[in-house]
Structure 1
Amino acid sequence: MANTSRRALRLLSSFGSRRLWPLRELAATLGVSERTVRRDIETLRGLGYPITTVHGPDGGYQLGAGRTLPPLVFDHDQALAVAVALQTAPSTVFGLRDDAARALVTLEQAMPAALREAMKSLRLTRLRNYWEFPAPPIDPAALTAVGTAVRHRHVVVTETLRADGSRPAPGDDDFRPARRIEPHHLVVWAGRWYLVAHDLGDHQWRVHRVERLRIRPTTCTFRPRQPPYDDLAHFVMSSHDRGDVPAAWECTGSARLNLSAGTVARWAPSGSVVEHLDAEHCRLTLGAWSWAGVAGILATFDTELTDLHPPELTAACHRLAHRLGTAGDPGEEP
């Protein structure tokens, strides 16, 4: 009876996360036979849940129309996942940390005693990853406006702000006229919010830093387009012109690399900036805790490095080359 109750709870949770479930997938999710799933579904039906059968090759089971699940139907693993997610959520939105803490308390109070204890058993501290450089937290209203435009497929008019959030004037190097774009998808990478959009001015796909956009919604709708890549993560990570700025480090330098901007952008660390020079060359600007650190990161690209700045970086590259050239030689100092 206890096992049946647990499976019934997991069934309810499954129907809450997905509308239609093929029998085979339900059985695999629960780790039981298809016959057992059918029996558990009959148990739920006996408790008053109108689980309907959808026939056909794409059929399965779904919760009947007009009926919703009871609130907070979590199984043990889901409760732990919620506790971990709320405590490790990065602060990329203003007030998110406090809101996440309040949400955790609210959920714990609504949980059954056993699940409440499981959630309370996971109290942790999230330490900063020093290779991640999240942008300043985004205003929830601005993020909601972008998310709403993406969801309802509304064209938006955008202006690009400076890295400090100020609005450039016409004639400034940073000035870009307002553009009409179709917002297709939001991506979070390394604590930064990016918007994948199609520009209606030149019909190009671009990646924008959300916090550097001033957005004016419109009521014009658009039809979904096929992005240039099926893998949106690859598209974002390989787009060099995505509005990034160098992160604050003790040492920041740059070099010309004999690689394309798309290749370098894909593997450059968070907080770096890639500038397109031509089809086979780019400039990479990045920082680290020492000049040797900057030189070491540049060396990982395994290509020729030229036009290094500042002189301290050039000297560090020469020292690193000497150390690597004598590595393992007992006649040299370590």
Structure 2
Amino acid sequence: MANTSSRTLRLLSLLQSHRYWPGDELAERLGVSPRTLRRDVDRLRELGYPVEARRGVDGGYQLAAGAALPPLVIDDEEAVALVVGLQAAAQGAVEGIAEPSVRALAKVVRVMPARLRRRVEALSAMTVPAAWGGADRAAVDPGTLTEAAVACRDAERVRFAYTADGGRRTDRHVEPHRLVRLGRRWYLVAYDLDRSDWRSFRVDRLTGLRGTGARYRPRDLPADDAAAFVRAGLDELPRPHAVEALVDAPAAAVRDLIGRWSTVEEVDAGRCRVRITAGSLDWAAMALGSVGADFRVLHPPELREHLREWGTRFLRA
């Protein structure tokens, strides 16, 4: 049975590596007779793999697309490439796939042999990320992100060091609940055991995250979902600048550009009122400027002066 099982996995690997295999060549690669090959193919079909057969002198086999994605067999090099690619995707290189990438990472890393993990870690350690305009201040260590995802999935308590916005460093012992990606940042929603309350932690500020081996029974989160909990926490952060402006552009177009950071109300068909609560005037100026339309600042007066300074600097450039 062990020989049959290993041969079946070898057959699957071969079918996944080539679009089409002549029957004689495939049987020779496996060291079996054409009759045994047919039985192995039938065994794969029973497992849900759609293997198509072509009869005749030039007959052979190929793996077709099925209704669902079956388990894949990959070699060591492909496994390392897969993890490195998923780590890059988890950083948000492509919009919309960061969260699925983290879920896939948690599954792959969990079953990856130690020798391959060491190769991935070495490759990550020796690779220097670069970005236009300097390093990304919110860069997340892929290993930390993966460990957090695994701990959430397995309901395992973790410990880590956390550096708050003001630079204060504390040690935390938490029950991780969910990872949330909001904008360009990742947040870990967890129950803080030392403070007996729920918290959200920016993952780029976590260091030394490690599992404790202790399992827990998941608690009820005091919010509709983890994303709502993170947003509510961010809404409570101090934002001293309340900005209001009239923008000469349709409300729908402005919402598409900056709606996630502002409130946009239609004034008429070609004009809208924008309200932004921001931590800095620079950010509000960039948001309004990115619309690509004329606008008039209604409030606060200091933003008008701020824009004059920007305009003078730009003209000098």
Q: TM-score, normalised by structure 1?
A: 0.39
Structure with greater proportional helix content: 2
